Structures are given as C-alpha cells and as structure tokens.
Structure 1
Amino acid sequence: MALLHRAELRPSKLDLLTTWLPGRPWFAGTPGAEATRVASYRFDDPAGEVGIETILVRAGDGPVLQVPLTYRAAPLAGAERWLVGTTDHSVLGPRWVYDASGDPVYPPALAAAVLADAGQAEEYFEVDGRREVRAPSVTLTGGRADTAPAFDLVDEVVDGDPTLIRAGGAELALVRRPAPADASAAARLTGSWAGQVDPVLLAYVR
C-alpha cells in the first residue's frame, strides 16, 4: 500500500520532468513545452522506505512517455547518473528523485508485475484516522511466466526506448513510449487509462 500525503512539492514533479526529459535519448515532444500528467501508478517497496511511482506524461503535442520515479529521503550512493532532481516535500522534507530504472528497488517490483501479475500498490490518504482509498488511474495487466528471473542484482542498465535492465542473463525492457500491445509474449505488462481504452505495452521480459 502507498500512503499519500496532501502536501506541496517545490519544485513539483512535473516541473522537474519538464527540465529533465528533453535530455533523455528517448524524449519526444514539443520543444520547451511543460510536461503534463496523463496518469500514474505505484509499486510497493517491501522495506517501506522508498516511494516508487510511474508517471505517464506528455510534452506538448508529443506522445505519452513512461517515466518511473523513486523518491528517497537521502541521496542514493553511486546513482548521480539517474538523479532527476531534488524537491522539498511539505510533510516529508527534502526528497531526492531518481529515474527508477537506475534505482535497485525498482527492477524487482517491475519484474513482479511483468512476470507474476503482482499489480500496483493501493493508494490511500489518512483522513481523521480513516483510510481514504484513491481509485487507480491506470489499469495494469501482468503476465504469468513459468520461470521468473531475479532482478535483485542488476548487471547493466541501457537507457533508450526501451530502457533495458539486464540481470543474470535476463533482460527487463521498460517501454518509454507505450505502444499498442500486439506482442504475444506471456511475460509482459500492459496498461490502459482514460483516453487510452486499448491496452498498450509498458514492459516485458526477454
């Protein structure tokens, strides 16, 4: 489960992405346009320390881009390459925001969704001691694989579209520009959201 806070972020996630996205090799969109949110979904960190959120955004008239992010209370050693930026959370304080593909908590969570249909984290607010659940904005459908490679220890991450996360001879592919899900592979993750009725391919294992 993901506990959300009614908080203010300075700068906002979208402000960070507006600056960061144009430098990515897989970026597509209107030059100089602000990033706008299309939908999002979250995974759980088993340790409960790191926020894991995938935001689907668009820059101007460009295509939908898939951007998984992790939120940490302190810098992640050796991950400067993956740093999106820092922000001040009005409840939690300073947060370091990373491209999740380079954060070790993300590949196992994504692999569980792709290979075992683990689904997304339930999102909720605490309101007067009661749990107020927020309805998901993305419908995810994972696969079922006979064998499930482990992605706990990543050997290499190759940024591109797809972004390739390699571990132990297996390859987890994160689709940066989600496309129609016409692939027949069982080990895949698809999603749909308001305005995107037909599922699109979000990730797969090969």
Structure 2
Amino acid sequence: MALLHRAELTPGKLDLLAPWLPARPWYRGPAEPRLVKVSAFRFDDPAGAVGVETLLVRAEEGGPVFQAPVTYRDAPLAGAEAWLLGTMEHSILGTRWVYDAAGDPVYAAALAAAILTGGTEAREEVSVDGVLQPRTPAMSVRGTGTAGAAVPPVTAVTAVVEADPTVITTDGLELTLVRVLDGGPRAEGAALLWGEQALALVRDM
C-alpha cells in the first residue's frame, strides 16, 4: 500500500523535472519545457521508508511521452549525488530528497519484483485528518511474471547506462527502463506492461 498525504509541495514534482529532463540524452523537445503530467503510478517500499513513483510526462503538445520514475527520501542517499533532482518541502513530511529512480536500489528492487512475480501498481490510500481513504490509481500496470517466482535480492545499483532504454545494473540483476513511450507492442520476455506498452524489462546477466 502507498500511503499518501494531502500536502503542499514546494517546488512541485514537475518543477523539479523541467530543468532535469532536457539534459537527458534520450530527451527530445523544447529546451525549456512546460511539462504536462500524463499519468502516474506507485510501487511499495516494503520498509515503508521510501516513496516510489513513476511519472509519465509530455513536454509539448503532440510530443512523446517520457517515463520518469522518481524516489522520495527523508535523507540523502549515500553515493547517489549524480541522481539527485533536488529537494522539496512537503507540508506534512518535511524536506524530501528527490532522485531519478534509475540510481536508487529501492526502485530497482520494487520494479524487479513487480516484473518477475506478475505484480501491479501499489494500492493507494490518502490520509485525511488521520483517516485513511482509498484512492484509485491513475493507471494500471502489470508484470508478466508468475506469482511466487524467485526474485534475486537487490541492495545496490552498480551501473547505469543513461540511454533509451536506460540499462540499470544491480548486484542481483539487470533492468532496462523504456524512457520514450511510443505505444508499441508488448515486449518479449519478462516485462512491466501498461496495456501493450512495455515500460521496463528484466535482462539476463
């Protein structure tokens, strides 16, 4: 379950992404984009410490949809300075360090588990005056694996090749993250799907 709060964020999520996105080698669009959120989904951190959210954004009308997963932490992630988008002030949780999730092992572990075990996006609940209220996720994703399948432990990201797809090497497996979504057919092999669009795959090491 992803526990959310009705809160003010300063700066907002798109405000952090707007200067970061044009510097990516896989980006194409205006140099100073005015981003529009297309959709989003979340994964659970089993430890309940890290927020894991995937944002789908568009930089211009009619332009491609970009996949930008991020993680939210209550303290800096050691050794991950290259993946830091910036900090935001959360009106309830305080300062949050926001990272490109490609460099965060919590994201890699959650993504691998969803793909290999046939998992889905996290169930969402919003805390309103201390009362939890269910919220329907904005989009649905599914892994092509099998419930109960073995998932290699992931505790560290050892390398990232920042391209499209982005290749994430961990101490347990390799993942590829599709950055530019074109609505193409589902990929062969173990993948995370949004409809027929492959969002990410597990690579053999």
TM, length-normalised to structure 2: 0.90
Q: Is the 8 A contact 1:84 1:97 kept in 2?
A: yes
Per-residue CA shift, 1:164-205, capped at 9, x if unaligned? 11235842101001233424523011114xxxxxx3110011
| Aligned pairs (5 A) from 1:31-50 | 31-50=31-50
Per-residue CA shift, 1:44-79, capped at 9, x if unaligned? 111111100000001113210000000011111111
| Aligned pairs (5 A) from 1:125-140 | 125-140=126-141
1:20 aligns with 2:20: yes
| Aligned pairs (5 A) from 1:11-160 | 11-61=11-61, 62-144=63-145, 148-160=151-163
Residue correspondences, number: 200
How many Å separate the matches in 2 of 1:75 and 1:103? 11
Give the secondary structure class of the aligned counterpart of 1:54. Answer: strand
Give the secondary structure class of the aligned counterpart of 1:105. Answer: helix
How many Å separate the matches in 2 of 1:83 and 1:169? 23
* Greater per-residue strand proportion: 1
Q: Gapped runs of 5+ residues in structure 1?
A: 193-198
Q: Is the 8 A contact 2:66 2:180 kept in 1?
A: yes
Task: Evaluate the alpha carbon distance shift between residue 148 and residue 94 of structure 1 in structure 2; reply closer, same or farther with a 3 A threshold.
Answer: closer
Q: Is the 8 A contact 1:79 1:103 kept in 2?
A: yes
1:203 aligns with 2:200: yes
Q: Is the 8 A contact 2:186 2:193 kept in 1?
A: no
Aligned partner letter, 2:182: A
Aligned partner letter, 1:33: P
Aligned partner letter, 1:16: L
Cα RMSD after superposing both structures: 1.9
Q: Is the 8 A contact 1:125 1:133 kept in 2?
A: yes
How many Å separate the matches in 2 of 1:94 and 1:25? 29
How many Å separate the matches in 2 of 1:108 and 1:84? 20
TM, length-normalised to structure 1: 0.89
Amino-acid identity (%): 53
Q: What's the CA shift for 1:116? A: 1.1
